[in-house]
Chain A
Amino acid sequence: MTQESTYSFEPPSGGGVSSALLHSLRTPLNQILGYCELLRDELASRNEPGLLADVNRIEAAGQDLLGLIESSSSTAPLPRPGEADSTLSPIELMVANAAAVIADQPAQDDLAYLQAYAPPSARESGRILVVDDKSGNRDVLSRMLRKQGFEVAEAGDGSDALTMLSESADKGKPFEVVLLDIVMPDVNGWEVLQKVKADPKLQNTAIIMISGVDDTDTIVRCLELGAADFVPKPFVPAILKARVSASIRAAHASGAMN
């Protein structure tokens, strides 16, 4: 891991989560869901589609998290590394994402923050496609990148991603970078990576693989198949920016040569 966890999450030995912890987790979520409903009622009589869409997203994320909490309370053990798409359980990953967003506030003279959010230079600016089947992960990553000054589009599965990549290349405005989740249903990250690398018109598009699994074999396989880089979840904003910028510089350089 490239960073230390800043939160603690200790499931009890039985494999499930204690009922007191579950209660503490559910209560604020239920409040968020309840207030979302109130807000939606309120917004029904007003014409504010953007705000309504945000409320719906918050509610969907709340439902997702509640579902994860409910499933972790069952007696079934949490998925172990190797079985899941992450070395972290879904709840741990969500907590880590949330911690990253919360921690992602400017502190005075915080060099890492300044580096993470300095506007990209012209040779580092580019269009990025974020591909992840989990809307919460996609949201965290896209927000981070937009805040860093990149132009970001999102795809929720592998085949959508391939369509978007192909269409944008046909329009002469290809994506510079794809941030690609590995474990997705239907067309997974490996397949997307191989198809992009086999497509001559996408040769200047750099692929950065993202995954909660950061074992050596996975990283090596990504790079062997033609990925430009690998970024483990949860994301560290400054590292993410540095890697994306480096890939964009490389893509621009190779584009200039061709």
Chain B
Amino acid sequence: MPTILLVEDNEANRDMLSRRLVRNGFDVTCAVDGNEGFAMTLSGHPDLVLMDMSLPGMNGWDATRAIRNQPEIAGIPVIALTAHAMAEDRALALAAGCDDYDTKPIELPRLLGKINALLARNEQETK
């Protein structure tokens, strides 16, 4: 079962999205801010990270950069989640090293498509 780390500070968002992902066959763990997100990526080596961008403490952009700068976890795909569909957010997320980008409200089929594409890509690369 693929493992996903969901980094999201809003409790209801975290609960809702993690439950929807579990229903779709993922093993989900959660972190509540950027620092914890980075630490749990390092300790747990998830197959993929879903990263909210506006987080307290270390924000999602900084947490993603931290992951990219840590060689043993630098290859883990990160999908940025933001609340608003703004072009500059997308550019910022990609510049920080995110592999893909999705906006809230989450349309689950769309997000699952992005998750599965990145998981498949990474599986190809590790072969």
Contacts and interface: CB of A to CB of B under 8 A. Distances in A.
Interface of A: 19, 22-23, 26-31, 33-35, 37-38, 41, 66
Interface residues of B, number: 15
Contacts, number: 40
Given A27-B13, A41-B23, A34 B84 contact: no
Interface stretch (B59-67, B71-79, B103-111, B113-121): B103-111
Contact of B104 (A26, A35, A37): A26
A19 B84 CA distance: 9
Nearest to B20: A38
Contacts of B84: 19, 22-23, 26
Contact of A38 (B13, B19, B105): B19
Contacts of A30: 13, 83, 104-106
17 contacts: A22-B84, A26-B83, A27-B10, A27-B13, A30-B13, A31-B10, A33-B105, A34-B16, A34-B17, A34-B20, A34-B105, A34-B106, A35-B16, A37-B20, A38-B19, A38-B23, A66-B105
B95 to A, nearest CB: 20
A172 B13 CA distance: 53
A30 B84 CA distance: 12
B104 to A, nearest CB: 5
Contacts of A41: 23
B12 interface: yes
A29 B105 CA distance: 9
User: Which secondary structure characterizes the binding site on chain A?
Assistant: helix
Contacts of A22: 84
Contacts of A19: 84
Interface in B43-89: 54, 83-84
Contacts of A38: 16, 19-20, 23
Nearest to B10: A27
A29 B108 CA distance: 16
Contact of B12 (A23, A26, A31): A31
A84 B83 CA distance: 29
Contacts of A33: 105
Contacts of B20: 34, 37-38
A12 to B, nearest CB: 16
A37 B108 contact: yes
A147 B20 CA distance: 36
A38 B23 CA distance: 9
A109 B121 CA distance: 66
Contacts of B12: 28, 31
Contact of B83 (A27, A34, A35, A37): A27
Contacts of B13: 27, 30-31, 34
A19 B44 CA distance: 35
Contacts of B83: 23, 26-27, 30
A27 B52 CA distance: 12
Nearest to A31: B12
Interface in B1-28: 10, 12-13, 16-17, 19-20, 23
Given A19-B84, A34-B105, A37-B108, 6 more contacts: A31-B10, A34-B13, A34-B17, A34-B106, A38-B20, A66-B105
